[in-house]
Chain A
Amino acid sequence: MVKRLLLASLLGLSVSTCADQRSHTHAVYMLIDTSGTYAQEVGKAQRIINYLLGTLQSGDSLAVARVKTRSFSEKDIIAKVTFDSRPSQANAQKRAFRDKIDAFVKSVGGSAYTDITGGLIQGGMFLNETGAGRKTILIFSDMQEELDKVTIRDFPINLKDIRVVALNVVKLKADNIDPRRYMGRLEAWQKRIEKAGASEWILINDIEHLDRMLQS
């Protein structure tokens, strides 16, 4: 009997040592631009969040934060959650998360400035804390950063091993006059993100393509 127990414990030990120690979870940090006229697009952002809630699995993390005048703050995180390993609990958490987002969408107001960099730094820190295997920052914005005179953001940032996805980057009136502005803006962001050590920079304007990106 003792021999059997020993064998069983050895087997258990070998299984536990064989277990894959890498994290297979996915953490997503979504930045929603609420500055100026872009605040009207928040309905689309809600649909994306709902989609994320339907896609993310137990153990995954999701946080939604707003981009406003200064976004490098935990206070700007509207809702965050790490889904329970039990699917039933995860479903309940998803429902609660959706309710929070619904409340935010109803009460959202525009901000004077757009601090995307601050939001990215905050998102990077949050994602690194989760220890997830795959980390993604979704930026729902026109990518037009506008900072007040006091805010300082012109320094290198760290987004190592994080995938950054720009969503619904709408064209501004000025972009319509000179499309090079739009191209230049995106190019500048891509350079900055890649310089920050991000694993990937993706631009998705058609939301239908989001599922393919999330599954990869």
Chain B
Amino acid sequence: MIWPGNPMASALILFAIAMPFLYAGRKVVHDLFRSIGHMIGGPLRLGARWLFATARDMKERNKAVLLAHGREEVGQHIEREFERIGALVTRDLEGYPALQRKLLEEITRVEEDYKKCGEVPPPPPEWVEAVTAIAKVKSDGNEMVQRILEEIKRSVHVIHDKALAEYRRASESRHKILNGFMPFWRSLDKTFGQVDKKLTGLHDTSSKIDAQMEKYEQINKKTERAEHALTVSAFTQFAISSLVLLIAVGGALVNFKLIALPFSEMVGAGDYLTNTLRASDVAALVIIFLETTMGLFVMETLRITHLFPIIANTSERMRRRVFWVAVVFLFIFAGIEAGLALMRDMLSADKQALVQSLASGRQAAPPDPLLRLIPTTAQMVLGFVLPFALAFVAIPLESFIYSLRTVGGAALVMLVRVLGFVLRILGNLVRQLCRVLVTLYDVTIVLPLLIERVVKAARSGGSEAESRSVKRAA
């Protein structure tokens, strides 16, 4: 310490001594700060740029994968719709000749009946001629003629009534024939209704295909709209499948609880694989995983899921074999689980009885058989049903895996972008910090800088005066 007992004064004196040196080294220190700024800030900015470029590449790759998956999915949809249409057409066209025959027969019958209705009894031609001839006869008040005419009139009236009755009878029979049309008309109406329904079904399916085709075209064109729709769909699928998988995990846990204790009876409860993981627990978990795998195979062979292309590509016969093998295994596992559930119940009851007798010092009375029967049966049924329920995990699992690619890719892109942004901010921060340090350095040596400025001003003033006097002399 220069001034003992006064650190402040000592520091000031030291600063005053150091100031000329600081002034002398000003340029070097400035350069040093700038170099440090470039040295740290440069790589950071470079890193940020690289990360942004990587994020762009990843986004492109994600888009390509998303569109490819979407194309495949829509293609499958279209294929399925075509299959449906094919089945519909095959089914309906198979019956079409019979339908046509039936329609033709009914139409012919209706036509025949209609023709029958059209036939009216022809008027007797003799009658017309006779009446015409009599109408031409001149009576001229002749009583004889009058009487004959009256007689004829009476006869005509009688015959007219008869003819009218005949005509009415004919009309009645025609009406009866027309009445007989009704069932045929109804049958025709029904048949045409069926045809209409089938055609409407075909029309609906073709509309669906149109919609899917439009989607397919959008994907092929790689439009933003298609990408957005596929991304939203993937996120929705991810959320739903995650939820369903969580429920399935709950079911698997229940299943595990059912079989873990009896497994310790078979595998032994004293073996540990890790510090806390028992071999019996692992064995129980393996059984549950095997059940899930068998379920997966069943779903694959039924072509509900498409996780293993090798199964989808096998021949129909082999696929059927794999299906039956998986189903048989599932049944075996379900049977084993039901047995294990029963065993668990027995072991629990035994343990409970032991604990009770240890606590009270006397043998516990056996519980009501009916009360024991209900939980035992419930556990057995659960043990049998849960493997089949777990088999359906394959469906949400497939959705989860496919949507995870999109969601994970999007999350990764976001993460890389955030990292790039942070690096850029850091780079800028370092550069600005170096500038601030340069200014701060100048602030500390403000006194020599002021002197420098004054001296420079004086020098420049002196040289200006000299030049002015020289000019004046000239």
Contacts and interface: CB of A to CB of B under 8 A. Distances in A.
Q: Do A and B bind each other?
A: yes
B354 A85 contact: no
A87 B264 contact: yes
B354 A94 contact: yes
A22 B350 CA distance: 30
Interface of A: 15, 18-20, 22, 24-25, 50-51, 53-54, 57-59, 85-88, 90-91, 94-95, 98
B268 A58 contact: yes
B270 A91 contact: no
Nearest to B351: A91
Contacts of A57: 269
B268 A88 contact: no
Nearest 5 pairs of A and B residues by beta carbon: A59-B270, A85-B268, A58-B269, A50-B358, A85-B270
Interface stretch (B124-132, B272-280, B438-446): B272-280
Given A19-B271, A20-B275, A24-B272, A58 B354 contact: no
9 contacts: A18-B273, A54-B354, A54-B355, A57-B269, A58-B269, A59-B270, A85-B271, A88-B350, A94-B354
Which interface residue of A57, A58, A85 has the most chain B CB atoms within 10 A? Answer: A85
Nearest to A133: B272
B345 to A, nearest CB: 13
B319 to A, nearest CB: 21
B196 interface: no
B265 to A, nearest CB: 5
Given A20-B275, A58-B264, A87-B347, A53 B358 contact: yes
Contacts of A94: 354, 358
B130 to A, nearest CB: 112
B358 A51 contact: yes
Contacts, number: 63
B273 A15 contact: yes
B370 interface: no
A53 B357 CA distance: 11
B359 interface: yes
Nearest to B268: A85
Contacts of B350: 88, 91
A20 B274 contact: yes
B261 interface: yes
Dominant SS among interface residues on chain A: helix
A58 B358 contact: no
B285 to A, nearest CB: 13
Interface of B: 261, 264-265, 268-275, 277, 279, 347, 350-351, 354-355, 357-359, 361
Contacts of B273: 15, 18-20
A59 B280 CA distance: 13
A15 B277 CA distance: 13
B359 A50 contact: yes
Contacts of A85: 264, 268-271
B182 to A, nearest CB: 74
A98 B359 CA distance: 11
Contact of B264 (A20, A50, A54, A86): A86
Contacts of B270: 24-25, 58-59, 85
B354 A91 contact: yes
B261 A87 contact: yes
Contacts of A91: 350-351, 354
A50 B202 CA distance: 77
A111 B355 CA distance: 32
A86 B347 CA distance: 10
B354 A88 contact: no
Nearest to B346: A88
Given A18-B273, A86-B265, A87-B264, 8 more contacts: A20-B277, A25-B270, A50-B359, A54-B355, A59-B270, A90-B269, A91-B350, A91-B354
Contact of B359 (A18, A54, A59): A54
Contacts of B358: 50-51, 53-54, 94, 98
A86 B261 CA distance: 10
A88 B262 CA distance: 10
Contacts of A87: 261, 264-265, 269, 347, 351
B272 A86 contact: no
A29 B224 CA distance: 75
Contacts of B277: 20
